[in-house]
Chains A and B, each alone.
Chain A
Amino acid sequence: MAEITPNELGITTVFAVREHRSLWKDAWRRLQSNRTARLGLAIVLIFVLSAVLAHYFWEYDPKTDLDYSLKLKPPNLFTNEEVQSIHPFGTDKLGRDIFRRVVHGGWNSLRVGLVAVGISLLFGGLLGLLAGFYESMMVTPGERILLLGLIGLLLGLLSAWIAAQPIQAVLFGLLGAAAAYFDTFLSGRVWRVVFFGALGGVIGGGLGSLVNPATGYVCGALGLIIGSLLALPLGGKFFSDTVMRAMDVLLSFPSYLLAIAIVAFLGPGLEKGMIAIGVVGIPVYARLVRSAVLSVVQKEYILAAQSIGESHGRILFRGIFPNILSPVIVQSTMGLAGAILSAAALGFLGLGAIPPEPEWGAMLGDSYRFLASGAWWAVVFPGLAIMLCVLGFNLLGDGLRDALDPKLRI
């Protein structure tokens, strides 16, 4: 083979021609080259498109949809003398077209998924971000004053409520701020705890005894505890531990039970279901984000940012936030799948959407009693819709994980 010189190929000056590609573009290319991810994306797109198009262009009023003459008719693709209309998925106990309700149900399911994940992500993500950040960073004096002031205020509220003296909360808040401001005062010595404990006892006991002696004793004891606590060198670790303990408590309840209890409190309904599922998801995201932050914080560029004196807010939102997005995006996609599944479960138990609102889980719960009379279609199609939709998001999430972080594999 003859030698080819660069000139003959028309390459003159630049020899490494590669367009600049961002991380996201790279990830998108990897996602597209992944067959299962493409399948997931296609399924998700079909559901999203059909739900959106149906919602805006295929009017459906569940309240008036009723036709007893078509009760529990099997699927038909052609009209016949008995059934004059086409029902590809059959009809349910009220003669409603199941296909139509499945398509419209998609709108509700996607809405629930998005809102629920949004709630979990907003609260869980923020808590996890702060917990992870302050667990590994030294808090600045200003932040410490704020933290201890808030702890003092919150605990002081209890004492204030007992004695019906709002001023106590303010005073305990100030005590916290003062303890943080004079953090070198007697530091590391038992006397510090004694000093602030006594101060707290005086605030609580003194003001409380204005009401009556008994209140004085109780508030005094409480003030003693609050004061001693405020004297401790509490920092980010304390904040992180408190937040994560609270998350542990939420995680100790099986997800459905917690969601059912929340719905029982709020009352049934699609919107209430969204809130319930969102709240149940908070600890999951808090844990995920915290661990992601902990791994990013150790990177050299964060150290560099710290050493040139960037503010905590800037490090948090410019340095850390963009770098934890990958696991968050993956988890959110999978979380959407989980939220849709939970919403369907709530609907199935009769705690989600209120009939006649079309919702996949509720449709299943409505019709499964008719199985014995042979109406399999009323159960099979809504269930298939749930499974396919959830599968789509799971496939997409799986592909996103491979695309966004090739090293990660679960």
Chain B
Amino acid sequence: MTRYIIRRLVSVIPTIIGVTFVIFMFQRLIPGDPAVAMLGEHATEENVERIREQFGLNRPAFLDRAALEEGDIKGFFDSQYFRYLSRLIKLDLGTSIHRRIPVAETLAIRFPATIELALASLLIAILVGIPVGIASAARRNSTLDSASMIGSLIGVSMPIFWLGIMLIMIFAVYLKWLPSGGRISANIAIEYQTHFILIDTLLAGDFPAFWDGLQHLILPAIALATIPMAIIARMTRSSMLDVLQEDYIRTAHAKGVMERYVLFKHALKNAFLPVITIIGLQAGILLAGAVLTETIFSWPGIGKWIYDAIIGRDYPIVQGGTLLIALLFIFINLIIDISYAFLDPRIHYD
């Protein structure tokens, strides 16, 4: 077990190096000169040159062959990529080109917004998806089963940007029940500590603000939850159906164990492993969907921020934000893999 965990941990290293490489390539490949982007079209030649010097943009991408030709081995490795790596090791993500604010600083504010939205969505998806899946499996081929399975297929097929627009149209524009975007109403002041609005308002004991934040969260969370909800429901159903065919379930029925007991105590426990995997895999879908959801609901999270940065050629933001998301994703996968070893005693890894 320990050996498996260590091996799995080591296997993450090449992936992370690969990720930094790809992220760095983004910057190199996306056309346009960042120095010009920073100064505007009408910048003088020497100003552009100065900025390029200051940000190391005049260095070669990976290795400096010219320096080597002059016999300078240290200069050979003094490239943009290695500078980027050495800054990363010092946890320095650079400064936004347009706004001149350290990327890490903005990340600390924006990232909680995305996580708050993603967690709320995941919660909705789990709270709805798992019971629906269990009910469908328990009453297989019933009307409830067909309805929820067709519903889940519609959920998987839903363009979430469209769903988001529809939700805004119905609940914000026509019914005026919920706000159409943003995280909190403009007239409410919050003392930020964690930048999770729900937590910050609770810590401050400011319940009206908490309520306001919750109202802002509902629509985007529902939009983002749709696809994971459908996937979790389908997975729960099929996993339960598999387990319900096992002999020990028949034995339990034969012994006269109560149906509810068989379902929740005997079956669910064993059906849970694939469901947990699928829940873990939703992380990727949630983070990907965040780009669209945040755009529609003007949610000040990381997805919209990166999207704007790609369009505006603000490379440090693109690099920092993408790196954080990719690392998070790798980390979640790692946790799922390792948790397998603990959750299922039948699996041996050595």
Contact = CB atoms under 8 A, between A and B. Distances in A.
A29 interface: no
Interface stretch (B50-58, B211-219, B253-261, B285-293): B285-293
Nearest to A398: B153
Size bin of chain A's contact surface: 35 or more
A181 interface: no
B66 to A, nearest CB: 11
A36 interface: yes
Contacts of A261: 26, 30, 310, 318, 322
Contacts of B166: 379-380, 383
A36 B303 CA distance: 36
A252 B329 contact: yes
A383 B156 contact: no
Interface of A is mostly: helix
Contacts, number: 146
Interface of B: 11, 14-15, 18-19, 21-22, 26, 29-31, 63, 65, 68-73, 76, 150, 153-154, 156-159, 161-162, 165-166, 168-169, 173, 234-235, 238, 241-242, 284, 287-292, 295, 303, 306-307, 310-311, 318, 322, 325-326, 329-330
A272 to B, nearest CB: 12
A372 interface: yes
Contact of A371 (B73, B169, B284, B291): B169
Contacts of B157: 337, 341, 387, 390-391, 394
Interface string A12-39: 0000000000000000000000001000
A239 interface: no
Interface string A381-396: 0010011001100110
A256 interface: yes
B153 A395 contact: yes
Given A215-B69, A245-B15, A254-B325, A372 B173 contact: yes
Interface stretch (A148-156, A322-330, A344-352): A344-352
Contacts of B291: 254, 256-257, 260, 349
A253 B150 contact: no
Given A215-B69, A254-B325, A257-B291, A249 B307 contact: no
Given A261-B30, A261-B318, A394-B156, A386 B162 contact: yes
Given A264-B30, A379-B169, A255 B329 contact: no
Contacts of A257: 287-288, 291, 303, 306-307, 322, 325
A248 interface: yes
Contacts of A344: 159, 161
Contacts of B15: 245, 248-249, 252
Interface stretch (A90-98, A206-214, A230-238, A289-297): A206-214
Nearest to B12: A248
A344 B162 CA distance: 10
A321 interface: no
